Structure 1
Amino acid sequence: MSIEKQPTGSVERVEIQSRFLQQSREVHIYLPHNYSPLYKYPVLYFNDGSDYESMGRMISLLNHRFADRHARRFLVVFVPVDKSVRRDEYHPEGSKHSAYVRFFADELIPLIEERYAAFPMGPARGIVGSSLGAVAALHTLLTYPRKFHYLALQSGAFHESSFQQVEAKGRELATVPIYQVVGLQEDRFQSASGKVIDLLALNRKMRDLLQSGGVDVEYGEYDHDHTWGFWQEDLPRLLDHFARHTSF
């Protein structure tokens, strides 16, 4: 008796010559096993793309998910980052942050929608990030509110400038479904500089600020620390949320 193999998607690697970042960047595009250029798909973009692929085990998760023929299909774009410049690109006050956001919105998205069968509309685009990658995702959406419809924040390492921007532009997020999680053990997170930060309190503050502006936030706190084990475990919930809130 033969055992039917689980269908597997494919991952394509694409080089982008960025005039904003003044360098070539590689991104990885996951296509479901039954991807067809005859259809149009929503797209979910991930900051820290290589980490989501390896430590988040996203490829296996996506293969398993799309083996169900009833599952809503979408494309996933993993955007790797050089760890040596991660803070410069992701932090809202980083020296390369503005260039990274412009690369993401004005170079990456047009290329994906030119090469693949992606819906070329904001309601079909989402961004995901964890820790400082969540901050970069939030600020990308705040800078280009009409280009995105969905935002997922895992253990966001928010800064004062993030709260200021949400206060100033929060009304533009009113139509954006936001998924947000944090670990209960993240109340004493030690940053790379050695500073101890209460990420749990910062996430609660961000949730309250977003909700006070009329934003639909699905918020969860779990008994976890600031680790990939937590974010990996959370990914099925995140993907379910994205599928439910994508209207295509």
Structure 2
Amino acid sequence: MPATELTGSVERVHIDSRFLGETREVHVYLPHNYSPLYKYPVLYINDGSDYMMMGRMISLLNERFADIRATRFLVVFVPVDKSKRRDEYHPHGAKHEAFLRFFAEELVAAVEGRFATFPMGPARGIMGSSLGATVALHTVLEYPRKFHYLALQSGAFKGTTYEQVEGRRDLATVPVYMVVGLQEERFETNGNVYDLLDANRRMRDLLQAQGVDVDYAEYDADHTWGFWQEDLPRALDHFVRQLAF
């Protein structure tokens, strides 16, 4: 008979946010061998629904944790209403500051109050792609002691973000994983064209100038979920390597 597939579980958590003025739902992935007797690091994911569906991340995590030698961690998928995405994710968005406060102050407290986690910065990481990577970086800029890891896939970085990174020597304790596609030098959206390849190279150089350990790579790929999905195993491996306990 075939072996029983080891699958994790996904729990829905509802958070009444006073900063956003609404109830937000997040999805928390627990490995199949999760136990409240242990404590786990946590990786928070922006654009959570997209990572679950288009990134097929649940299947990837199930495969990963089927290996009993794999370091276990929890993954919090944070969905976003696409109609509000720019308001919350863009540095100039109307709800950007409120989203950062929700993420760092309400979301983390809700997750750590319900699940067995390490309540410390080095055990918390954030991942995102495109504008989701941008808001991940801004979350760490605003709360550098609360999050000590970043995975940035094809970040959509612009002037404000570079200005806020400049001179931030306190970021030196935050390991950063960055990837971008060579075909992203002409990314078109809403009638505008952006050179995301150059934007990521510039951000890499700026972060390194602040003393940040940046694991950076460029691939023959474009600004698509096919690229980011293929990259996920590398990103998760990097996250695990940075855990100091």
TM range, smaller chain: over 0.9
Aligned counterpart for 1:217 among listed residues 214, 218, 222: 214
Deviation at 1:212, TM superposition (A): 1.2
Q: Distance in 1 between matches of 2:67 and 2:21?
A: 41
- For residues 4 and 231 of structure 2, what CA distance do their matches in structure 1 show? 26
Residue correspondence of structure 1 range 87-126 to structure 2 within 5 A: 87-126=86-125
Residue type matched to 2:218 in 1? E
Contact 1:6 1:64 in 2 (8 A): no
Structure-2 separation of matches of 1:177 and 1:64: 25
Deviation at 1:172, TM superposition (A): 1.3
Counterpart residue number, 1:48: 47
1:176 matches 2:174: yes
Question: What's 1:186 paired with?
Answer: 184
Q: What is the distance in 2 between the residues matched to 1:139 and 1:149?
A: 13
- Provide, for residues 69-111 of structure 1, a one-character-per-residue CA deviation record: whole Å limited to 9, x for no partner: 0000000000000000100000011000000000000000011
RMSD of aligned C-alpha atoms?
Answer: 0.6
Unaligned runs of 5+ in 2: none
In the other structure, the counterpart of 1:37 is: 36
Q: Secondary structure of the residue that 2:12 maps to in structure 1?
A: strand
Partner of 1:137: 136
Work out the number of aligned pairs and report it: 245
Q: Residues of 1 paired with 2:23 and 2:211: CA distance?
A: 39
Paired with 1:40 and 1:247, the residues of 2 have a C-alpha distance of 14
Amino acid at match of 2:243: T
Structure 1, unpaired ranges of 5+: none
Alpha-carbon distance between aligned partners in 2 of 1:8 and 1:242, rounded to the nearest angstrom: 21
Alpha-carbon separation, structure 2, partners of 1:245 and 1:91: 28
1:3, CA displacement in angstroms?
Answer: 1.1
Deviation at 1:168, TM superposition (A): 3.7
The runs of 4+ residues in structure 1 deviating greater than 2 Å are: none
